[in-house]
Chains A and B, each alone.
Chain A
Amino acid sequence: MDQFTLNWIFIGASFLLYIGIAIWARAGSTSEFYAAGRGIHPVTNGMATAADWMSAASFISMAGLIAFTGYDNSSFLMGWTGGYVLLALLLAPYLRKFGKFTVSEFIGDRFYSPTARLVAVICLIVASVTYVIGQMTGVGVAFGRFLEVSNTTGLLIGAAVVFAYAVFGGMKGVTYTQVAQYCVLIVAYTIPAIFISLQLTGNPIPALGLFGEHTASGEPLLAKLDSLVEELGFANYTGHHGDTFNMVLFTLSLMIGTAGLPHVIMRFFTVPKVADARWSAGWALVFIALLYLTAPAVGAMARLNLITTVFPEGTASAPIDYEARPDWMATWEKTGLLSFEDKNGDGKIQWYNDGSDAFAATATERGWAGSELTVNRDILVLANPEIAQLPGWVIALVAAGGLAAALSTAAGLLLAISSAVSHDLIKGAINPNISEKGELLSARIAMAVAIVVATYLGLNPPGFAAQTVALAFGLAAASIFPALMMGIFSKRINNTGAVAGMLVGLLTTLIYIFLHKGWFFIPDTNSFTDADPLLGTIKSTSFGAVGALLNFATAFIVSNATKAPPQEIQDLVESVRIPRGAGAAVDH
């Protein structure tokens, strides 16, 4: 059976599973649609949260980014897991106790202001839509590669599938579908990693293999990798090369952004008790950590395998002939994401750091005229099983896993968007007397509109997926998280302070990103670049932490200059802090 057929079988079977679950769990009432009737067990909820959280960025992109940069990209690992500590300690239990459906509902009630609720809804919609665009782009690329169809066709198929189960299933469908998706994606991520770890280190656990011994050379794996990359003029893998201050801010932005993203916070509304909300965050991180502890091993081992594929006789000897290259290189060349240019005309693939002055003399001496191989970082995880020459079914499994990661996140975000529009915007602001049926209908229409917009923008993305995702994180960090945290931990922050804080955080972050990435991502409209940022060494991706700080400061100053919140709001804060009575607050 050829690879193409295998891919179709694995992807097709996994989709049938997801759609089957969505139909089986079709939602009835509005309460079931949004929060699955609050009957979800913490472990189940944790698994679904993990699938929701781990998107194409975690599955497809992250290990590749780590592989090519090494230590300096550890920010992704710490940032995208450390946010769960903030979520578990500072938000989840209290929001569950509050007992409403959406994040903006909490902000609207706590700050006793429809304006605050509206500002929160706008923040949520902007952050979620930009995040979905990135996912849809990922869906298109993965479908295109594995089904050997065009990017556009791949994207349209993906959009149709997300639409089907998110619209007809509601959150219950999504919750159980996401449990299935988690299983598919974690198996798909781990199996090739186990094979590769066994090949290189003899250790079946990739996370331990990373710090184990490279059996072929007898050296520690990371020491071997450091010496290999240095021999080709690259910066060493384990060293710290980037700016320290920016690395701290970037990590912090990712952490705060994680705790401010509505589709993740919403998960904690679906457990029965406050105590369960606490456990749920822990279980979510357990399931996330299974992938995140493996990812640095996948990255390091893929880099090592890539170097030994190109230089089978060692980095001091000649690299392989282009004509003798492995099949996977030829396959990826078709997508344009991997390319070879024979600069010195010797028919061999020289791959080294031609930007390094220290290495230039060695390169000239060997007759090398520039690095001839270009590898897109995003293909590394998908190409990984092929690089390690694993069987065809493993490759097909990775394809299904990558799609599960992208689709599950897209579906969770769509749900957050639809409830923001129908529940907060329409029922909360435009037509408070809307019937339950009407509300459900408008939720589904909102979802359909959101997916059409996301698909359209996914076809014509405003920038690279990573840029769009960075915007989503920065916005969530700068706007939502501070408002939620202050709403729980301070009784003094009032309506004016919260609205001013959110607006300052949102706008400064948005403007800083636009100044560096172009206004509304239109190319060449930027005034600065991330290589030479406006403020010191702060890149636009790291600005979310600064925006959050400005939000906190503004809210604090404005609140203290204006009137304290009324007594009933202070009582509300008091009641949110105490777990007792959460069950009674469900209906409203």
Chain B
Amino acid sequence: MADNSSSNAYWAANVRIILVSLVIWAVVSFGFGILLRPMLAGISVGGTDLGFWFAQQGSILVFLALIFFYAWRMNKLDREHGVEE
């Protein structure tokens, strides 16, 4: 069924975008903010290190960018696959 294969491709593309986004989501918060903080200790930001900045502000800014990127990318994907409203 042509319809079905198109929607399968759409869904696979969506899942791929979600996975990439969630990897970034985890790396900036659990990674840079907590687990990888010792690795970033050498990079100083305003009296402390980059890990502290990621934990208190940086991760929030990345979260924002991720959600807007996803909304923009998915709305584009909807049109590419002809499933937009």
Q: Assess A223 versus B48: contact at CB under 8 Å? Given A244-B35, A577-B7.
A: yes
Kindly list chain B residues whose C-beta atoms are within 8 Å of the C-beta of A580: 78, 83-85
In-complex Cβ contact of A81 among B37, B60, B71, B74 (8 A): B60
Please state if B48 and A296 are interface contacts (CB–CB under 8 Å): no
Please state if B56 and A84 are interface contacts (CB–CB under 8 Å): no
Q: Give residues of chain A (354-385) contacting chain B, Cβ–Cβ below 8 Å.
A: none
Interface centre among B22, B61, B64, B85 (most CB of A within 10 A): B85
Cα-based distance from A127 to B45 in the complex (angstroms): 40
Please state if B85 and A289 are interface contacts (CB–CB under 8 Å): no
Kindly list chain A residues whose C-beta atoms are within 8 Å of the C-beta of B85: 273-275, 579-583
Cβ of A578 under 8 Å from chain B: yes
- B39-82 vs A: 1/0 string, CB under 8 Å? 00000011111001101110111011011101100110010000
In-complex Cβ contact of A224 among B33, B47, B61 (8 A): B47
Q: Assess A211 versus B47: contact at CB under 8 Å? Given A275-B71, A292-B60, A580-B83.
A: yes
In-complex Cβ contact of A293 among B18, B57, B71, B84 (8 A): B57
- A278-310 vs B: 1/0 string, CB under 8 Å? 110110011001001100100000000000000
Kindly list chain B residues whose C-beta atoms are within 8 Å of the C-beta of A85: 21-22, 25, 63, 66-67
Q: Give residues of chain A (184-237) contacting chain B, Cβ–Cβ below 8 Å.
A: 207, 210-212, 219-224, 226
Q: Give residues of chain A (71-107) contacting chain B, Cβ–Cβ below 8 Å.
A: 71, 74, 77-78, 81-82, 84-85, 88-90, 93
Cα-based distance from A218 to B11 in the complex (angstroms): 55
Q: Which residue of B lies closest to A207 (CB)?
A: B57
Kindly list chain A residues whose C-beta atoms are within 8 Å of the C-beta of B35: 244, 248
Interface centre among A74, A81, A211, A238 (most CB of B within 10 A): A74
Cβ of A388 under 8 Å from chain B: no
Interface centre among A78, A81, A278 (most CB of B within 10 A): A78
Q: Assess A74 versus B55: contact at CB under 8 Å? Given A278-B71, A278-B74, A285-B67.
A: yes
**How extensive is the interface on chain A, given as a class?**
35 or more
Q: Give residues of chain A (241-257) contacting chain B, Cβ–Cβ below 8 Å.
A: 244, 247-248, 251-252
Q: Assess A282 versus B84: contact at CB under 8 Å? Given A93-B74, A251-B29, A578-B7.
A: no
- A573-588 vs B: 1/0 string, CB under 8 Å? 0100111111100000
Please state if A281 and B46 are interface contacts (CB–CB under 8 Å): no
Cα-based distance from A580 to B66 in the complex (angstroms): 23
Cα-based distance from A275 to B75 in the complex (angstroms): 6
Q: Which residue of A lies closest to B24 (CB)?
A: A85
A residues lining the B interface (CB < 8 Å): 66, 71, 74, 77-78, 81-82, 84-85, 88-90, 93, 207, 210-212, 219-224, 226, 238, 240, 244, 247-248, 251-252, 273-275, 278-279, 281-282, 285-286, 289, 292-293, 296, 489, 574, 577-583
Q: A85-B22, A222-B47, A282-B64 are in contact. List 8 more A-B contacts (CB 8 A).
A: A77-B59, A89-B70, A210-B57, A211-B45, A275-B85, A292-B60, A577-B11, A580-B84
A and B contact pairs by CB, cutoff 8 A, 20 listed: A66-B56, A82-B29, A85-B21, A89-B22, A89-B67, A210-B56, A211-B46, A211-B47, A222-B46, A223-B47, A226-B48, A238-B49, A240-B34, A252-B30, A275-B71, A278-B71, A281-B71, A282-B68, A577-B11, A580-B84
